[in-house]
């Protein structure tokens, strides 16, 4: 399986500020996704991070609020912009691998965000 790291692991931010979350994978992967998981809830897909092009956003999520970059096959960032307390959540990076040795979708450890 792929080893996925996220930075920061947690943060407390003030309303109106922005936070950029980084996701690094130890091997090249085909797809990278960003999910949100509110406490005690299931995972909701925010967007698919496309290498070298604009991310594909799910209904209810927009680029101005959650800009995403993916400059190469192993790295992506998610920015949570103009934060409000409603953005307090766990943000998870996920990848789909390449080749038979990395099958299925794997998740990073998550970034726990609290907005005050």
Question: What six digits make up the tokens of 48?
Answer: 């698919």
Q: Smallest distance, Å, CB 70 to other proteins?
A: 15
92 binds other proteins (CB under 8 A): yes
Which one of 13, 27, 43, 50 is in contact with other proteins (CB under 8 A)? 43
Residue ranges in 2-21 that form contacts with other proteins under rule CB under 8 A: 4
Q: Which stretch binds other proteins (CB under 8 A): 13-21, 64-72, 78-86, 90-98?
A: 90-98
Please list the helix, strand and coil fractions of the chain in percent, rounded to the nearest 5, in that order.
5, 55, 45
Interstrand relation of 111-115 and 10-13 (parallel, antiparallel or unpaired): parallel
Radius of gyration of the chain (CA): 13
Residue ranges in 97-116 that form contacts with other proteins under rule CB under 8 A: 103-110, 112
């Amino acid at each position: 399986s792929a080893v996925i790291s996220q930075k920061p692991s947690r943060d407390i931010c003030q309303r109106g500020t922005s936070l950029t979350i980084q996701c690094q994978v130890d091997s090249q992967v085909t797809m990278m996704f960003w999910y949100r998981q509110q406490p005690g809830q299931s995972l909701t897909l925010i967007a698919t991070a496309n290498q070298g092009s604009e991310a594909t956003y799910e209904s209810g999520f927009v680029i101005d609020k959650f800009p995403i970059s993916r400059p190469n096959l192993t790295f992506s960032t998610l920015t949570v912009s103009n934060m409000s307390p409603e953005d307090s959540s766990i943000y998870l990076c996920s990848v789909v691998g390449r080749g038979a040795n990395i099958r299925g979708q794997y998740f990073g450890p998550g970034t726990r965000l609290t907005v005050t």
